[in-house]
Structure 1
């Protein structure tokens, strides 16, 4: 029996495994090798790894974990989870049945990209969600912002620290009069109409094309599409969730424990706002430490 099975082997899952391996706990990490930020060319704001490709950082992390004999990395998908604290059972997609005392869920989320020609091709290159991740490299350029709800107002205010040339694309949303007034005060134009196409060259935007027959040139487009958990294990386990403007995340307490004893969560799957590599790594480390401490006798 494992001490901990970690479902999801990106930044949060590997950070948890590192802490547990150093505590000499027996750990299995199940991973499908499809991290959310695999579309990004570089990962920014990560201390010691700034501007490195995210897949390179993960590959290096896996190599470092190899020195810990109690950690096992398995390329497999968890199909089902059952049981209770000290006696969980995980069945993988190759029908392997694994027993464990604790679980850490870090299988992340998937972005639900709109069915707009050119959007998928530009995602991670010139359409990005996070200014902390990519804003510095495109500072002082012309930013476009895809409006997705009232929370976008805070994003626009935030973006002003990086550039003073912003254009908001309403994309079919009704923006309230008070927000419209604030945007006008900041000299930020609002473009009506729905986005019908992202004209690009190898993922680099040339124009945002609208159903009003307007084509607007921008250098970078910030968008926050809705996302959803990349697996449904939390549903079968009956874990409590929290609704956010961009999707659903797992509810955790101050020790990263979910609503079910013995099950912990970390990373984008349990991050309501501004997910990042740094935050995922920190949460994963804490989940691993708290899971270990919960097994002390």
Structure 2
């Protein structure tokens, strides 16, 4: 089947890209595996008109509106391979299906590699978070923790006092120097040395147990996970750039990648995970792809 664009990933960025192309009466298909990155969170925050709405509800309404356009198709499945070049891409699905497309929009998101602390994965998105703007406000003003996995924890340790009293648990991940300790002191961040042993859920938060048996009750814990891209990125050969959390696809202001005819948007192309950013970048990718369909690469 031939399409103007195949959009890989049907979450916020992918649907935002699709909406622009649908309104330009272009024939598109979105291929989505149904695993949005924020599926672990009960509520989404910071997105205008939808603050506090469950992520699944935002996505369901977006999909409902998008599918009203007659040139849009939706395919639940996994993309196995992308070959070809601009105006003649071939997209093979894991179930044996395939599509031909003039343009590719990558919106497949990323996979979070969480610290191996026992109990943490079960509480991800519930009491353990990575974005203060998304989840900090609801925690109140007391007992916010940061679990270090590298020196990147400096970022959380210096930010989070704006949301509440913050303790940075160094977790044997790095040793702050005198200048860094002075920065923490200036921000009011308490620093605790030693390694974490496990995380237990409590009625109103979490209990962080240290290897030396010290116990800290927290309303929430922040960590900086490493991110991993879809194998399709390496297969296509898109140029990457390094972010503090891992590699992302390098794009220009129009969400164009280094591969002609291929665009990238959402968490796959921006280190800051946010519904607002995903929608904005997706819209730009859709507009840019339409521009090249009109005028050429």
Q: Calculate the TM-score normalised by the size of structure 1.
A: 0.95
Give yes or no for the alignment of 1:236 onto 2:235.
Answer: yes
C-alpha separation in 2, matches of 1:186 and 1:251: 34
Tell me if 1:220 matches 2:243: no
Distance 1:147 1:120 in 2: 15
1:251 Cα deviation from its structure 2 partner: 0.3
Q: Deviations over 1:232-251 (max 9, x none)?
A: 10101111111112111000
Secondary structure of 1:89's aligned partner: strand
Q: Which residue of 2 aligns with 1:58?
A: 59
Question: Aligned with 1:115: secondary structure?
Answer: coil
Tell me if the contact between 1:129 and 1:223 (Cα under 8 Å) persists in the aligned partners: yes
Quote the Cα distance in structure 1 between the aligned partners of 2:162 and 2:117. Answer: 29
Give the CA deviation at 1:278.
Answer: 0.3
Asked if structure 2 preserves the Cα contact closer than 8 Å seen for 1:122 and 1:205, the reply is no
* 2:132 matched residue in structure 1: 131
> Counterpart in 2 of 1:205?
205
Cα–Cα, structure 1 residues 36 and 198, in superposed 2: closer, same or farther, change >3 Å? same
Q: 2:101 maps to which residue?
A: 100
Which ranges in structure 1 are unaligned for 5 or more consecutive residues? none
How many residue pairs align between the two structures?
Answer: 293
**If the length of structure 2 is used for normalisation, what is the TM-score?**
0.95
Cα distance in structure 1, aligned partners of 2:252 and 2:186: 41
Note the C-alpha offset of 1:57: 0.7
SS in structure 2 opposite 1:296?
Answer: helix
Cα distance in 1, alignment partners of residues 286 and 100 from structure 2? 17
Distance across 1 between alignment mates of 2:284 and 2:189: 41
What aligned pairs does 1:80-159 form with structure 2 within 5 A after superposition? 80-159=81-160
Q: CA deviation at 1:147?
A: 2.0
Which residue pairs with 2:177 in the alignment? Answer: 176
Q: Deviations over 1:202-226 (max 9, x none)?
A: 7x53311111221111111111111
